[in-house]
Structure 1
Amino acid sequence: MKAAVMYGPSDIRVEEIETPVCPEDGLLINVRAVGLCGSDIRNMTTDSRQGKYPHVFGHEIVGEIVEKGPKVRGYELGENIYVYPADHCGHCEACRSGHSEMCENQGKYTERVGGFADYYVVTGTQLSRDSVFKLAPDQDVIAATLAEPLSSVYACQDNIDVRYGDTVVVIGAGPIGCFHIQLARLRGATKIAMVELNEERLELAKRFGADLYINSSKEDPVEAIKKWTHGKGADKVISATPVTATQNQALYMTRKGGIAVWFGGVAKGKLAEIDTNYAHYNGLWIYGHFGANSIQVEQSFHLALSDAFEAKKFITHILPLSKINEGIQLTKTGEAIKVVLIPNEEKNKDLLPNE
């Protein structure tokens, strides 16, 4: 089969590798569509595996069952499934307390052979846990790839209770930031602002209907938000970038007693200088968000496929897997909001746009 194989930082080669064997208690799926995630790009453009190459990444996977092991029940050949990458055990303290996103025994999906390939193995452990969801025959397999990145956004806004009357600021107009705008609007937020320093990315984000768009390379975003909110600041400010500077900015954009969210993970070892007195005397809640629990994973799967979410607004590029390097560049430059890759190009040609 063909796969996008990483040999080192930014060294991604689409080449033939051995097709995996279907396990007795698992499934082999034809990967119909796989999203190109920001974390995939970060992993593939840095020495993420510390020299342990070659490796295949890819975790926003939707595929068709083409083979099932003799021990598998409840799944049929030809069914389309979405595979959430982080299978949770359901038995550890974190899972039992409703925080399965912090599961102590979850599968390490970045260690498996990923979905940037024609075929992908779903293990028996994944099937026995909470990570596999069936699509109805008429549901959009491309839209379903958004369920994984949406799950963390959904969980974040669920946990901080974005609701009617809220003023929300989102920093970062990447795919995650755009998800935050769309979802905040669906949840009833009254005023929404987007902050971004890349003009092209900011223009693309205007399709999601925030009330204010701020180019932080041209004006002070903290001052702009303070002016917009008549000096008060926003109820909820979500920093959805991988840099500490916007985490700091989020604090100063938040009203007294409001919530500042550190959503985007920064480089390991990178520390931020925080004015703790400012947080202290303004009664700020600082919330670090990561992942989604089992119920939130399921709810986001259904939302991604719903008419209300309008998945097609996010997916700006559908490319064959052979163009993965092009997809990476489109995302890094801000020309794309969300890139979805189509492996097994001949078998899945119905999903590729006509050129």
Structure 2
Amino acid sequence: MKAALMYGPNDIRVEEIDKPVCPEDGLLINVRAVGLCGSDIRNLTTDSRKGKYPHVYGHEVVGQVTEIGPKVEGYAIGDKLYVYPVGHCGRCEACRSGHSEMCQYGDDYTGRMGGFTDYYVVTGQQLSRDSVFKLNPGQDEIAATLAEPLSSVYACQDNIDVRFGDTVVVIGAGPIGCFHVQLARMRGATKIAMVELNEKRLEMAQRFGADLYINSSKEDPVEAIRKWTNGRGADKVISATPVTATQNQAIYMTKNNGITVWFGGVAKGKLAEIDSNYVHYHGLWIYGHFGANSIQVEQSFHLALSDAFQADKFITHVLPLSEINKGIHLTKTGEAIKVVLIPNEELNKDLLSRKVKEE
């Protein structure tokens, strides 16, 4: 079978490897579609495994069951599945308190072979936890790949209670930022602004209907948001970029007693310079968001497949796995919002034949 093997930073080669064996207590699935995530790109372009290569990444996996272990019940050949990458144990203190996103014993999905390959093993542990969701007949497998990145966005806005009347600012027009704009609108936010320094990304993001788009390479975004809100600031400001500078900007865009969200993870060791006196005297709430709990994961799966979410607005490119390097380039330059890769090109040519309309 073919797989996209990482041999080192920016060295990704699609090669033949041995097909994995179906475990006695697990499944083997034909990977029908797999999303190309920003964290995948970060891992693929840095020395993410400290020289332990080659390795296969990919965690936004949707596939079809081709083999079933003898100890497995409840699944049939041909079932189509979305596989969330982290299985929560359900027993640790975090899980029992409703914060399974902080599970002490969650699966290390980056350590095992991922989904940038023709076939993927669903382990017995994944089946016994909260990782696997069946698609109904006719549901869109490509849209289902959005369930994983959407889950964290859904959880964030659920936790900070984005609602009718809110003014929301989203910093970053990558896939996550676009999810935030779309979901904030669905939750009833009254005014939404998006801030981005890449003009291509900003132009593409206009399909999601924010009320204001700010190019931060051309104007001061803090000043622009202050002016837009008559000096008040926004109720909720979400920094969805991997840089500390926007985390700091988000603070000054937030109204008194408002919520600043640090959503995007930054490089390890990078520290944000924070005017703690400003935070103190303006009564700001700073919320660091990561992951989604078990219920939020399930709700996001259903949302991604719903007509209301309009997944095709996000998925700008559907490419064969052999073009993974092209997908990385398109994403990094801002020419793509979301890239979905199709492995096993012969077996899944029905998905490759789909054309995604760019607005």
Q: Shorter-chain TM-score: what band?
A: over 0.9
Aligned counterpart, 2:337? 337
Aligned residues: 355
Cα distance in 2 between the residues matched to 1:165 and 1:76: 47
- TM-score, length basis structure 2: 0.98
**8 Å Cα contact 1:168-1:237 kept in structure 2:** yes
Determine whether 1:69 maps to 2:69: yes
**8 Å Cα contact 1:28-1:119 kept in structure 2:** yes
Determine whether 1:58 maps to 2:58: yes
**8 Å Cα contact 1:318-1:353 kept in structure 2:** no
**8 Å Cα contact 1:31-1:343 kept in structure 2:** yes
- TM-score, length basis structure 1: 1.00
SS at match of 1:237: strand
Matches within 5 A, 1:185-224: 185-224=185-224
Stretches of structure 2 lacking an aligned partner (at least 5 in a row): none
1:271 Cα deviation after fit: 0.5
Tell me: CA distance 1:234–1:354, structure 2 relative to 1, closer, same or farther (3 Å).
closer
**What are the superposed Cα offsets for residues 123-145 of structure 1, whole Å, 9 maximum, x if unpaired?**
00000000000000110000000
Aligned counterpart, 2:131? 131
Cα distance in 2 between the residues matched to 1:353 and 1:316: 14
Aligned counterpart, 1:263? 263
Matches within 5 A, 1:1-355: 1-353=1-353
**What are the superposed Cα offsets for residues 304-352 of structure 1, whole Å, 9 maximum, x if unpaired?**
0000100000000000000000000000000000000000000000001
**8 Å Cα contact 1:174-1:337 kept in structure 2:** yes
Aligned-pair Cα RMSD in Å = 0.6
Structure 1's consecutive aligned runs of 4 or more residues displaced over 4 angstroms after TM superposition are none
1:353 Cα deviation after fit: 3.1
SS at match of 2:32: strand
SS at match of 2:295: helix
Cα distance in 1 between the residues matched to 2:76 and 2:89: 24
**What are the superposed Cα offsets for residues 118-165 of structure 1, whole Å, 9 maximum, x if unpaired?**
000000000000000000011000000000000000000000000000
SS at match of 2:179: helix
Cα distance in 2 between the residues matched to 1:18 and 1:277: 58
**8 Å Cα contact 1:151-1:301 kept in structure 2:** yes
1:4 Cα deviation after fit: 0.1
Cα distance in 2 between the residues matched to 1:162 and 1:142: 27
**8 Å Cα contact 1:84-1:132 kept in structure 2:** yes
**8 Å Cα contact 1:260-1:284 kept in structure 2:** yes
SS at match of 1:206: helix
1:354 Cα deviation after fit: 6.2
